[in-house]
Amino acid sequence: MSAVKINENIRLIRKQLGLTQDQFAVKLEIKRSLIGAYEEGRAEPRLELLQKMASLGGYTVDALIGKDLSRMKDYEKKALTSKDVVVVTVDDQSRNNIELVPLRAAAGYLNGYADPEYIRELPRFKLPMLRQGTYRAFEVSGDSMLPIVPGTVVIGELIEDISTVKNGKPYVLVTSREGIVFKRVFNYLQESGKLFLVSDNRQYAPFQIDGADVIEVWTAKAYISVEFPDGQASGDLTMEQLAGMVMNLKQEIQSLKSQTSKKKPS
């Protein structure tokens, strides 16, 4: 990125903070004249100073020197500054555990998701088929995602970049306004900065949320339930259709047996 773009980003950060050049210089512990030089592109800050500027503005250094900050949307800025927020626990072999967020802890998770002590208090377990990646388990409530019934534990893999959310796939979203929700998601971030959330149970109307309200995104990888899904509730075959298929299968077997017996030599 050119020095001109860096100087525009530096000026933008200062203005977003509502600071004069004098005030910005005080926060950075440098002379005001240097702020003028940086914003006019006559000089470039050292790396440690870039880090301070980026931190004050809520950006990463990579964003400060590599992106046009004036064009960044709120959800993009949030993604840049929250990559290191997710806290995990590890076993005695330094392998990530799967922490479980039960329903009774869902409200507390919104405040404690970045608190190592809170995360360490959550139940944890492992699944041998899920080895790579960062996983978290959430107990879901309600019947909006049948055949996933209330009390089912949905295991999600962390998605660091919200813009990579794929249309129609099920995700667990941790949001500042809606809490923890499990839905199929449709990604309209580029067009409107929104995500559309759709339930598998059509009795529930779809709704939208701002991408900037999303704290964490977990793509659903597996679920654990003590109840087997009902075919009719899931939109699969009805019991009558299943019964008909079984009857047809019996008839086909009987027909094959008859044909086989006729072909045997007397």
Which pTM does this prediction carry?
0.63
The two three-digit tokens of residue 19, written as one number: 């600071």
- The burial class, CB within 10 Å (0-12 / 13-18 / 19+), for 254 is exposed
Kindly report, residue by residue over 103-158, the tens digit of the pLDDT: 999 999 998 988 889 999 999 999 988 878 899 999 999 999 988 999 999 999 99
Count how many Cα atoms sit within 13 Å of the Cα of residue 88 in the half-sphere of its side chain.
18
How far apart are the C-alpha atoms of 84 and 231, rounded to whole Å?
Answer: 41
Kindly report, residue by residue over 68-97, the tens digit of the pLDDT: 888 877 666 665 555 445 788 888 888 889
Report residue 63 CA to chain centroid gap. 21
**Ordered domains of the chain (ranges, CATH):** 3-72 (1.10.260.40), 98-224 (2.10.109.10)
Task: Please say whether the beta carbons of 90 and 97 come within 8 A.
Answer: yes
Beta bridge partners of 92: none
What distances in angstroms separate CA 242 from CA 191, 233, 251, 258, one per listed residue?
A: 43, 14, 14, 24
- Percent over 90 (pLDDT), the chain: 48
The better pLDDT of the pair 227, 18 is held by 18
Averaged pLDDT score across all residues of the chain: 84
Kindly report, residue by residue over 169-181, the tens digit of the pLDDT: 999 999 988 999 9
Cβ neighbours of residue 262 under 8 Å, at least 6 residues apart? none
